[in-house]
Amino acid sequence: MQDKILIIEDEERIARFVELELTHEGYVAHKAADGLEGLEKAVGGGYSLILLDVMLPHINGMEVLRRLRQHPPPAGDTPVIMLTARDATTDKVYGLDGGANDYVTKPFAIEELLARIRALLRKKSSALTCRGVSLDPERRTVSANGREIDLTRREFDLLRHLMENKDIVQRRETLLTRVWGYDYSGETNSVDVYIRYLRAKIEEPLGMKLIHTVRGVGYVVRD
Ligand code: CA
């Protein structure tokens, strides 16, 4: 299947150039010329990756990123490469803090941008493994010691987020935002409930510990 890439960029000349290059590389490329249009497409368009300019009309790239990351997966965790102005170090820092996966500085060499895109798409589709548990983000399957485990969408997204952040403690609030989405109005104990489901499906049958509780904070997956 071809990867769909969204270019959110108000400079038509750059957007058009990148679109042509991406199409040439075999990607499906779509454009958005301002922050609001970009966010709308990013949330509903099923993109594999987003190229996001910082300076945009209506809402800027940082705000687009912030709002995008408040949506549940798969839209909310779409890989984002920020296009930042030269020497705008603060943009890079804010961008990476705000959940950008990478950034390139304008003016950029198209080969460099294509290399960053390939690297992120590879990372996105490569299997995550930990303690005999293997999670395939592309096929949305999980297996433990070679046996497939049937997970609901929410259980899968929660496990995926934990495995992507192996050895990094995830606060309950972070998990709620990244897995349930910001408009979720329930309690943080939903996280505890779903952790119990995952343990019952994965840890108990295998007799091992994958997800560790960090008292008063949250959860972490450790090898
Ligand atoms: Ca711009």
Tens place of pLDDT per residue across the chain (223 aa): 789 999 999 999 999 999 999 999 999 999 999 999 999 999 999 999 999 999 999 999 999 999 999 888 889 889 999 998 766 666 666 666 678 888 898 889 999 999 999 999 988 778 899 998 999 988 899 999 888 999 999 999 999 999 988 999 999 988 988 888 766 667 778 999 999 999 999 999 889 999 999 999 999 999 8
Taking the CB of residue 216, how many other CB atoms lie within 10 A of it?
Answer: 7
156 C-alpha vs ligand 1 centroid, how far in Å?
36
Q: What is the pLDDT of residue 188?
A: 74
8 C-alpha vs ligand 1 centroid, how far in Å?
9
44 C-alpha vs ligand 1 centroid, how far in Å?
22
> Is the alpha carbon torsion for 151, 153, 155, 159 positive or negative?
positive
Which residues are near ligand 1, the ion (C-beta closer than 5 Å)?
10, 53, 55
Q: What is the pLDDT of residue 44?
A: 94
Specify the DSSP class assigned to residue 219. Answer: E
Q: What is the pLDDT of residue 146?
A: 83
213 C-alpha vs ligand 1 centroid, how far in Å?
44
148 C-alpha vs ligand 1 centroid, how far in Å?
46
Q: What is the pLDDT of residue 173?
A: 86
Q: What is the pLDDT of residue 182?
A: 64
Alpha-carbon span 190 to 167, nearest angstrom: 22
DSSP string, 34-78: SHHHHHHHHHHS--SEEEEESS-SSS-HHHHHHHHTTSPTTGGG-
Q: What is the pLDDT of residue 94?
A: 62
Helix (H) or strand (E) holding 220: strand 218-221
